[in-house]
Structure 1
Amino acid sequence: MSHFLFDKFYQVSAKEWKQKIQFDLKGADYNETLVWESNEGIKVKPFYHKDDIKFLPIVTSKKKYSICQSIFISDVKVANFLAKDALKRGANTIEFEAHAEFDINQLLDQLHNSGDTKDNVHIYFKLNFLSESFLIQLIEKCENLPIFLNVDLIGNLAKTGNWFRNKKEDNSVLKNILKKATKDTSVLSVDAGLYHNAGADIVQQVAYALGHGNEYLNTITGDKKQIVHTISFQFAIGGNYFFEIAKLRAFEYVWQLLTKEYDVNIKAELFVKPSLRNKTLYDSNVNMLRITTECMSAILGGADVISNVSYDSLYHKKNEFGERIARNQLLILQEESYFKEVSQVAEGSYYIESLTKEIAEKALQLFKNIEKSGGFLSQLEAGTIQRKIEQSAAKEQQQFDKEEVILLGSNKYSNVDEKMKSELELYPFVKIKPRKTEIRPIITKRLAEKIEQERTSQE
């Protein structure tokens, strides 16, 4: 067609739209009635117009997200079987978590020939220990196989309050591993999901992820022999649908700005999981709905890999039904909802572009303030990062307690007859384990924990 239907309509300016809205309000104040402010200080307007939007030059590429199955290694043979089974059922990426060393050959046996993915299987490791010799073995035995070692010294410090050994030895191990890495090996990782699940707001999450990653850039750029082409950034996605889409896009933009300053080309691999902070013990089936929209935000925000969580993961041990439902949620979005057919679908949306720009600007300013105060690690060791996250978490908790933040089935429209105490295979609340730490650890906590503890105690 040589012309379009919309050509017959005259363009309406932002000023005209606002005048019409103010007329319809019949004297009510426009800002007080229709504009609301988020916890990040972002004022959300009732409409967005191209007259008011300046698009960020975000460099993106067409990509299809990978579906990841996360598996804990308690028995190597079982872990190998579960991984191959997951690959046959639609996953194309595997994340192995372990607390101790394991038989690498047995774990990876025939893994790259499983399912429909063949040699394209990407393997992520989440090792809750640091062993130079074992990491070198992984690199050597996974030659020509794309692997992510996910070494995150600062993340471990933030989460546990301690280095694996001590600061000097940990960094020495990291440098040695970086020198051994091949083109198929990604060594470094940044656990930004920790900040989300502890209660940091979206601007803080982006700024802290950037500051956290900047600490590693300082290490990398000091030795040109080290091969670093990718850093895995692990984000958690919450229920604020459009804000979460903008969060990932904003981070990609500020990361590009930062790496440009270092004159390096290091990709941020976005490994995303749904939030744990808004999941509930009671009426847990609602978690399926929360998880679905969070996965949608991750996809539209540009996630490279998504590892879904089971709706009952708070209180049940891993089980076939829960894991299958979680994996199938991603498959349905990809195959039946045609999310694999679209690329950068959020690009050009006035609302999302505006949110992306505001989050990026505020996060950059916070990042600069952190750098002026000595850097992210220095602020972490001083307890400043922990204090800021706790303040944000306390504000959100207060909003939840006042029912300003709603979790259906929990603090609103709860089923008072539902009993969950007998269902608990796992302890779903914050565990208090007194121990000596070098710094105050960042503690993750769900919004519904307090009222859930009260309910279970009365069953």
Structure 2
Amino acid sequence: MSKPLFDDFSEVSSKAWKQLIQFDLKGADYNEKLIWTADEGIHVKPFYHADDYKNPPKVSDTKATQWQICQTIFVADVEKSNLKAVNAIARGAECIKFILPSENVIVKDLLANINLTHVQVVFECQFLSAAFIDQFAFTSNLANIHIDTDIIGNLGKTGNWFKNLKADHIEMEAIVKNTNAFTVHLDHYQNAGANMVQQLAYALAHANEYLNYFDAVLSDKEKQTIKVSFNVAVGSNYFFEIAKLRALREVWATLADAYGFNTACDIFATPTKRNKTLYDYNTNMLRTTTECMSAILGGANRISNLPYDAIYHKDNEFGERIARNQLLVLKHESYFDKVNNPADGAYYIESLTQQLAEKALELFKDIEANGGFLHQLKEGIIQKKIKESAVKEQVQFDEGELILLGTNKHPNPDDKMKHELELYPFVKKNPIKTLLEPIIERRLAETVEQKRLEDE
């Protein structure tokens, strides 16, 4: 063809589109009928146009062609966990995340027959020990090993330091200097009910506490070697979640650059637990599929899917295999690894990304102006704000505005679950003395499910 196809069509401005829409509304108010406001305070328009941008949106540096399928394994028995990891790798996993409840684990045995040249391994330690790092002396492939260290995340989740503020920071400093990495968990904020602006702002303020500390103890050269990983929980608001991950990279780059740290960030994503249900549990697979899609398109580096029965069954081969296969289908049959930055240039997503980033930075600056993240955690301000957001979302669910199919819409009255419970699927009450109020994760469907279990 001598000329491009689209030259045969004249351009239509955003003003012309709006005029046509206004005509079709027959006098109804355009803003009232077609523009809605998300919980994050973002106004969503019925259409987006190139006219909204003075300059074309920037090309992002995400590498969606390189996202990895991760298998998460809780280590109760080293030998069994190693066999499970080797089996998962043989069946398509490209990364393994071990959750370690204690440091009484022989790492060399846990990593037996795992090729660290090709497989990344993440250790999420439920303890704090710089001496634990000595166990990795047996291998030279440390580039593919990441120690998930987040003392502030532990403080927010449990209400206590591992030891105390000073001792925890000294221990973490030793770990970071040995591994050149640390982690920021914002998944906990999402699972507790924080909205997306809060998640991003709290992640920034959370990370800023670390940057303030390490800015004083690391050289400029050392700062550039630090690799920061963000653990993110992804919800079912499809396009917003894509934008959330993109915005996270933007706001982190802004903050890290101000301190002279490496601006690249590593994103580890997993589906949220907040919208998962006990009844009609197969719908959880639909939810996790779209949530994993959002994570991929948003630029996550590694994704660990949540088994459909994770909230009420112990770890089991079937649930884990289905969860892994969902990711395998997305990668190898749906071709979600063929384009590096698939969300770039979509005006709606670009607009959401920009607005989320701006609102998150605004909230972050407010937190810093009022004492910083640790201060606001101690005063209970962060917990209060998350509770307010969670209550708002809970009301939406209770009134049927926010729908979980099979739970608050079209429930199956014949569905029985009382004899299926291997794990307690609700918030556990364990009264202990804490330094501050912990941030509690809670699912939306818990009250409804407890009532249904009582009635069985």
Per-residue Cα deviation, 1:291-322 (whole angstroms, up to 9, x for no partner): 00000000000000000010011111111110
* Shift of residue 92, structure 1, vs aligned partner: 0.8
Equivalent pair of 1:53/1:353 in contact (CA under 8 Å): no
Name the SS of the counterpart of 1:125 in structure 2: strand
* Shift of residue 2, structure 1, vs aligned partner: 4.2
Extract unaligned runs of 5+ from structure 2.
Answer: none
Per-residue Cα deviation, 1:396-415 (whole angstroms, up to 9, x for no partner): 00000000000000000000
| Structure 2 letter corresponding to 1:109 | A
Task: Verify: 1:127 aligned to 2:125, yes or no.
Answer: yes
1:348 match:
345
| Structure 2 letter corresponding to 1:95 | K
Instruction: Tell me how many residue pairs correspond in the alignment.
Output: 449
Name the SS of the counterpart of 2:268 in structure 1: strand
| Structure 1 letter corresponding to 2:107 | I
* Paired residues for 1:274-353 under 5 Å: 274-353=271-350
Task: Verify: 1:458 aligned to 2:452, yes or no.
Answer: no
1:35 match:
35
Equivalent pair of 2:181/2:226 in contact (CA under 8 Å): no
Equivalent pair of 1:58/1:253 in contact (CA under 8 Å): no
Name the SS of the counterpart of 1:306 in structure 2: strand
Choose which of 181, 196, 200 in structure 2 pairs with 1:187: 181
* Shift of residue 61, structure 1, vs aligned partner: 4.1
Taking the aligned partners of 1:341 and 1:263, their CA distance within structure 2 comes to: 33
Choose which of 411, 426, 439 in structure 2 pairs with 1:442: 439
1:262 match:
259
* Shift of residue 56, structure 1, vs aligned partner: 5.3
| Structure 1 letter corresponding to 2:414 | D
Equivalent pair of 2:117/2:141 in contact (CA under 8 Å): no
Choose which of 122, 140, 144 in structure 2 pairs with 1:143: 140
Per-residue Cα deviation, 1:318-343 (whole angstroms, up to 9, x for no partner): 11110000001001000000111112
Per-residue Cα deviation, 1:42-76 (whole angstroms, up to 9, x for no partner): 11111111111365546414341011000011110
Per-residue Cα deviation, 1:362-388 (whole angstroms, up to 9, x for no partner): 001001111111111111111111100
Taking the aligned partners of 2:423 and 2:275, their CA distance within structure 1 comes to: 18
Taking the aligned partners of 1:95 and 1:267, their CA distance within structure 2 comes to: 21
Taking the aligned partners of 2:276 and 2:53, their CA distance within structure 1 comes to: 35
Taking the aligned partners of 2:84 and 2:169, their CA distance within structure 1 comes to: 34
2:108 match:
105
Equivalent pair of 1:100/1:128 in contact (CA under 8 Å): yes
Query: Normalising by structure 2, what TM-score?
Result: 0.96
Equivalent pair of 1:149/1:186 in contact (CA under 8 Å): no
Equivalent pair of 2:62/2:299 in contact (CA under 8 Å): no
2:61 match:
60
Alignment CA distance shift 1:2-1:254 (3 Å): farther
Task: Verify: 1:201 aligned to 2:195, yes or no.
Answer: yes
Extract unaligned runs of 5+ from structure 1.
Answer: 113-117
Query: Normalising by structure 1, what TM-score?
Result: 0.95
Equivalent pair of 2:123/2:148 in contact (CA under 8 Å): yes
1:78 match:
80
Name the SS of the counterpart of 2:70 in structure 1: strand
Per-residue Cα deviation, 1:128-172 (whole angstroms, up to 9, x for no partner): 1112211x2244344323111111000000000000001111111
Per-residue Cα deviation, 1:73-101 (whole angstroms, up to 9, x for no partner): 11100010000000000001000001112
Taking the aligned partners of 1:52 and 1:65, their CA distance within structure 2 comes to: 31
* Shift of residue 274, structure 1, vs aligned partner: 0.3
1:7 match:
7
Taking the aligned partners of 1:438 and 1:58, their CA distance within structure 2 comes to: 45
* Shift of residue 23, structure 1, vs aligned partner: 0.3
Name the SS of the counterpart of 1:374 in structure 2: coil
| Structure 1 letter corresponding to 2:162 | F
Equivalent pair of 1:229/1:266 in contact (CA under 8 Å): no
2:151 match:
153
Taking the aligned partners of 2:341 and 2:60, their CA distance within structure 1 comes to: 11
Q: Which moved more, 1:223-232 or 1:14-23?
A: 223-232
Taking the aligned partners of 1:83 and 1:186, their CA distance within structure 2 comes to: 25
| Structure 2 letter corresponding to 1:51 | D
